[in-house]
Amino acid sequence: MKKIILTLTLTFYALINLNAQSNKIDIGLFGLLNRNLSFSFEHTLSDYATFRMGASYMLTGELPWLDASKGLLDSSGTEGYLEIALNKLRISAYSFTPEFRFYPKGAAMTGLYIAPYLKYADYRFTSVYQSDVDYFDADSLFTAEDVVFDLSGHIRKAGAGLAIGYQWLISDAVSLDFCFFGPGFVYAFASSTVDAPKFPASRDIGEFTQEELSEIPDILGLIDVEQVTPTQAKGTWNKLLPIYRFNISIGFAF
């Protein structure tokens, strides 16, 4: 039995050394600033090429770069309700990024690389806020105060780009990957629902929500909103957007 265990151990060790540094797993460091856990696996295809699959998950929390997002809004027309909605918004996400890397110097997983990539991401969000609603009933104007709105939805993104970076093998096992150039484009498409059980029946909730959203800058595109029921509205949005990849990763090669 001892001879069998010893033989298997030596065989396994020999296989590892035979395929030394043909694989790598790493974790992205830059995304940790936004609760984004990013992992990847890279496999050598030849001296010049590797295949890499990245996956990430953003833990549920507030909108990243929240203050910068609020700076885009002029919420005076909504008495600050949009800003309140952003403050209470909670978002999570996951994404996948497959890519082929080309190493011009013929030393796979070492040195400069050029990498065309694909990207798919799904963001899910929820929020709640209150707003006063003006409405007419029997030709008289009334105001329903502090109507509660529950918002939920998701945004999906799919696209492609080109990344350029440099990778070092600090030792036989430890790697450092610096992706410093990664422009691309994604097609973003979103859907969301707004529920307000106490919304006045004589007012169109879709029309009201559309007016509230008109404070969002046109640069982000038009959000189409329609009434589904007297207390529920649905919004849809889509737009082609530029993206940029930048990351520093540390990993283990084997």
pLDDT in tens, 196-245: 999 999 999 999 998 888 767 666 678 899 999 999 999 999 999 999 99
Residue with the larger pLDDT of the pair 68 and 207: 207
CA dihedral sign, ordered 6, 8, 14, 17: negative
Q: What is the pLDDT of residue 120?
A: 98
Segment 29-45 mean pLDDT: 94
Phi, psi for 67 (deg, rounded to 5): -65, -40
Q: Does residue 75 contact residue 83 with C-beta atoms inside 8 Å?
A: yes
Q: Does residue 163 contact residue 115 with C-beta atoms inside 8 Å?
A: yes
Segments making up each domain of the chain, as ranges: 2-253
Q: Give SS3 for 199.
A: coil
For residue 154, give every residue at least 6 positions away whose Cβ sits within 8 Å of its Cβ, in sequence order, or none. Answer: 122, 123, 124, 125, 190, 191, 192
**∠ CA(97), CA(102), CA(103), 5° rounding?**
130
pLDDT in tens, 87-130: 899 999 999 999 999 999 999 999 999 999 999 999 999 999 99
Q: What is the pLDDT of residue 18?
A: 42
Q: Give SS3 for 201.
A: coil
